Amino acid sequence: MKPELFPDKIKPYILPQPSGDLIYNCLGCGLEFPIEKLHYTCPECGQVLLIQDRRFQRLKEIPPETWHLIFDYRKMLTLPAMKGIYRFHEFIGSMIPLDAVVYLGEGHTPIIEANLHMQEKTGCRFFFKNDGQNPSASFKDRGMASALSYIHYLIREGLTEDVLAVCASTGDTSAAAALYAAYLQPNIKSAVLLPHKKVTPQQLSQPLGSGAKVFEIPGVFDDCMKVVEALSENYNVALLNSKNAWRILGQESYSYEIAQDLEYDMKDKVVVLPIGNAGNITAVMSGFLKFYDTGIITTLPKILGVQSAHANPVYRYYLEPDAARRKFKPVTVQPSVAQAAMIGNPVSMPRVIHLTKLYNDLSGKQNVFFMEVTEQAIMDWELTANRNGHIACTHGGESLAGLFAARQQGIVHSQEVSIIDSTAHALKFSGFQEMYFENTFPEEFQITPEPALVNRPVLVRPKTIDRFPAPGSSMDADDFKRFVQATSEYIATDLNLKKAPDS
């Protein structure tokens, strides 16, 4: 719909102008720094940053019901800049002009309700929010749309030029970074660092296809992160890891979309997500807090962060109930099917500690929970979900396993409705499904296939015939007839089919 056709009440708000006063805020020393320069950590104390709007109060001058209408009417716009995460412009990067926004189809991923069978199996109602339906097939596109729109803005303002964007990645960050950088070439080039043999072939193909320079590094993600940090401290590069606070800002869109999809009613809602480097859970909490602060939602949903027992530093930290005695200790990770979350020293841990406290305080009760699940449970729940019409990746399986455990432990109640983050598309991690179906998991994973979940292809080559079609060679008509007959009979027998009455 054209902006001039919107109701008069909404018209002034429908296309946002650059507004607000964004600054980097240090979680360590509390200092603030202007956004005209790209910072990843505090120049004073080295702690991670979050972006804050010093004029956030102005957003409270608009009544919550008007905000609902603004976002709902914006759904009808055809302007590309407003079709993705910047539908929530005032909350996501309000100083970015719309013509600097990079939109590649990210955001507004569907929420799909689990069928009755799944609800019975888990003991609760839930939806998957399929973030694998983003352009590079993971939620990372939300943060990259934000980070690259910001860099695009800096370039246009003449504040930077010839950007080399770099990131370390468990696979999906590099796919997203390379994709968005490719769109902005030649102004931006990208280089990605991946742990050798610790990303799937599909994930490796993505930055290669987008034309990024790809470096494979021995070790795990945490090792790559140290190298890329050294690069960003000593050379003129733009770091695109979630250490970059612009990533967090974009990923807040996940919360805003859930609120909008549920008609802004977050009572008795639970949001479940996997934790790796902890950027996503930071963003999800931050997003709900902003909507809560402005009255756009009036309840903070319960948050459930899930980790594999093979990479569980955040879960371990919160095992200590006394906040004063908690001490963060990085863990050495073991192989995990939730490979994109296989991180022992999450960069956003200080943000998680800060926001979890704030979130619980404002909720007036514990409202953020951390769960641990086994590798076996991750695979079993992923495969079960996908046998019931979902497209969950292993991390979606991890989240579902976490929800099930939380339900069993009484952390989630039967009247609550959960939204589960399937953070990537199942296809990116199909290699783990294959290992499960073929029972070829290396020992360290400690996964034994559940026979009822195994599914394998059947090669049909009936013994009654000896000629089969092959590409490039033609077949005798009678041979071909025999092939069709023998093959169809084989399949009919295998499927136990009954003959149609008039055949």
Ligand X SMILES: *Cc1c(COP(=O)(O)O)cnc(C)c1O
Structure tokens at 286: 């931050």
We find the least distance from the C-beta atom of residue 126 to ligand X, in angstroms, to be 18
Q: Are 392 and 410 spatial neighbours (Cβ–Cβ below 8 Å)?
A: no
Q: Which is nearer to Zn ion, 47 or 374 (CB)?
A: 47
We find the least distance from the C-beta atom of residue 74 to Zn ion, in angstroms, to be 36
Q: Are 86 and 96 spatial neighbours (Cβ–Cβ below 8 Å)?
A: yes
Q: Among 379, 432, 381, which Cα is nearest to 406's?
A: 381
Q: Which is nearer to ligand X, 390 or 395 (CB)?
A: 395
We find the least distance from the C-beta atom of residue 106 to ligand X, in angstroms, to be 14
Residue from the set 18, 34, 36, 45 that interacts with Zn ion by CB under 5 A: 45
Among 7-15, 40-48, 372-380, 420-428, which window interacts with Zn ion (CB under 5 A)?
40-48
Whether the CA torsion 248, 252, 253, 258 is positive or negative: it is: positive
Closest residue by beta carbon to Zn ion: 42
Q: Which is nearer to Zn ion, 25 or 202 (CB)?
A: 25
Q: Which is nearer to Zn ion, 31 or 164 (CB)?
A: 31
Which of Zn ion, ligand X, none lies near 44, with the C-beta cut-off 5 to 8 A by kind?
Answer: Zn ion
32 binds Zn ion (CB under 5 A): no
We find the least distance from the C-beta atom of residue 23 to Zn ion, in angstroms, to be 13
266 alpha carbon, distance to own chain's centre: 21
- What is d(CA 283, CA 355) in angstroms, rounded to the nearest whole number? 10
Whether the CA torsion 227, 232, 234, 237 is positive or negative: it is: positive
- What is d(CA 432, CA 25) in angstroms, rounded to the nearest whole number? 40
- What is d(CA 152, CA 377) in angstroms, rounded to the nearest whole number? 42
**Binding map of ligand X across residues 242-281, x = CB under 6 A, - = no contact:** x-------------------------------xxxxxxx-
Count of positions on this chain that bind ligand X (CB under 6 A):
17
The interface with ligand X within residues 39-68 (CB under 6 A) comprises none
- What is d(CA 382, CA 412) in angstroms, rounded to the nearest whole number? 20
489 binds Zn ion (CB under 5 A): no
We find the least distance from the C-beta atom of residue 41 to Zn ion, in angstroms, to be 8
Q: Are 217 and 223 spatial neighbours (Cβ–Cβ below 8 Å)?
A: yes
Reduced to 3 states (helix: H, G, I; strand: E, B; else coil), residue 431 is helix
Residue 325 has a CB neighbour count (10 Å cut-off) of 7
29 binds Zn ion (CB under 5 A): yes
We find the least distance from the C-beta atom of residue 242 to ligand X, in angstroms, to be 6
198 binds ligand X (CB under 6 A): no
**Binding map of ligand X across residues 287-326, x = CB under 6 A, - = no contact:** ----------------------------------------
List of residues 6+ apart from 443 with CB closer than 8 A: none
Side chain identity, residue 234: N
We find the least distance from the C-beta atom of residue 426 to ligand X, in angstroms, to be 11
We find the least distance from the C-beta atom of residue 46 to Zn ion, in angstroms, to be 7
Q: In what order do the strands lie in the sheet with 368-373?
A: 111-113, 125-130, 417-422, 269-274, 302-308, 368-373
Q: Among 15, 37, 167, which Cα is nearest to 101's?
A: 15
49 binds Zn ion (CB under 5 A): no
Which stretches of the chain bind Zn ion, using CB under 5 A? Answer: 26, 28-29, 42, 44-45, 47
Which stretches of the chain bind ligand X, using CB under 6 A? Answer: 138, 140, 172, 242, 274-280, 340-341, 393, 395, 423-424
